[in-house]
Structure 1
Amino acid sequence: MQDQTNLAIAALKFFSPIEYEKNCEITGHAPTPGRTEPLDGSKLLTYLEKTGALFEPRRYQVRIAELLSRLERAGLLIPFGQGNDLFLGKKYYFLKEFTTLEKKGLLWLSEALGPQFVRSQYASITVQITGETEAGDVHAGTGLAIAPNCILTCAHVIRDMTVYDTQQFGGQSYQVIDVLPHESIDVGLVKVEPTLQVLPSLAFRDPCLADQLYTLGYPRVPLARSAPLVMQSGEVTSPEVTLLHGPEVFLYSAIARPGNSGGPIISASGHVLGIVTEELTAESARLSLPFHAGIKASTINSVVGEIDESIILPIEDYE
């Protein structure tokens, strides 16, 4: 995954108009005087070889062509004509304008590099919160690190159990210093120390109808020795549903199981759309299929501000 990421960044740098003259010099291509011309994929192979970004790049022409196609479909590369090479002859420009949050990291590559990339970015900040119920049973939910000492989760996760004073995240021990569930909305915060790893370009936005998405969490897996981080894919099926009691939620088609609650719901573009909340099931319909619901980003933003004014949720405003 790291190799794909590095290669994608190198390709985008190569097709950037700002780098045109420098890249012509590297590849031995004569620049057009007074103009910036789009370069093609065949010259990218020379660039990768000359810069040492990839050893023997011509061995990987098929995969490089596939990567360029994915970057194009994601809107990161804009096609500008065809060169002489039949296989890697398409010419491109990289013209993306970054938002303030996008500039802080690489999540803007999510749509091009896919779910494996999304998982690699979010795995370190998606944690399992463990505790014990009144009956003495071990219980668990999922949380998302949103600040150096703060984990976002569902209120019912930290209400339904006594959270253990010591938590294990990524092989490191953390001490719980406060547990803060909201009184009426299913959002809560867990404060820990020492500081957590955070994702610099983490950004929240509200869901839109048919958004492709992924859920990440730690559902109970029968017979598993330890809880694995599980990813499910789906789409937003309804961006707004008003419940009889409580805030608006949104519905999605990805499967969520016990233990997923509090985990992030992430769009294909890398944004957090919300967190997994309790499923919606009619009590009288034993065999009915439940609706999977999420607390949306704007609701989380308001609630987090009520719980702790010092926590600023990073909302994507496209500025």
Structure 2
Amino acid sequence: MGKKVLITGGTGLVGSHLIPLLQQNGHEVAVLSRSKDTGKPYPVFEWDYNNNYLEEGALEGVEAIIHLAGAGVADKRWTNERKEEIYNSRTKTSFLLYNMLKERPHQVKTFISASAIGFYGMDTGSSILKETAPVGHDFLAHVTDAWETSTAKITDLNIRLLQLRIGVVLSEKGGALVEILKPPVAAPLGKGSQYMSWIHMEDLCRMFVFALENEALIGTYNAVAPRPASNKELTRAAARVFGKTFVPIPVPGLILKLMLGEMAGMVLGGNRVSCEKIMKEGFDFSFPKLEQALQNLRSKEKG
């Protein structure tokens, strides 16, 4: 039986892919947005975490919430104001949902929250990271840890909670892959040997649906493909598949730090993250191999 699912961040890169998949699987979708948009093929309800506001009726009939909201960590330079927005857009939205679920009548039984492998720190070398690995010490680790802590309060309401720590999402419509292919030539960044724990957008969205429909699942899962690639390997493969020139000379870290400031740590560092836990639960990847994933995205781009 399909469920009624309320989604935050539904207009973002992941949400815009996830909504059609949920509908294809027989689920009814409603979306929380900062602005009312009546032109969407699903109900849209307003919310505002700064004013602790959630539109009446937003929770009506809802059995599950998928929480994707959060300002993009790579969209703008990390000024103090931007850092505050990145932090608040994750934690304050989680607290708002908790408070509304605590105060209002509802039927919500499942809460699935996005998280990120940034939890482990921006650079963890070649160590294989399972979900039990400790939290890192940099800005993104601090944000992600607080994000997970804020959503963990949901369990106080006897609601099943899952947190998916998302890796580098590969999509032909945005994100890391588009940035890699944007320059005239593709080149590795920094050392080039740093790991990129990637996942195809389709597999990520299928993982959210898997988490929704398998009610025995609970807790934290890494949302990455089985075979992480180095920055150099991923860049070379993307250039080959998408017909770009690959130059093996790395872009120096110093230049990236001058261009990006503290944000440079996201591309100069890396994580080698394990998806063993979700696979043991029965999740089967459609795109476990990088070349296969890139070929599929190339065919979609040609469309």
Query: What is the TM-score of this pair, normalised by structure 2?
Result: 0.26
Considering fraction of residues, name the structure with more strand: 1
Considering fraction of residues, name the structure with more helix: 2
Query: What is the TM-score of this pair, normalised by structure 1?
Result: 0.25
Q: Which has the larger radius of gyration?
A: 1
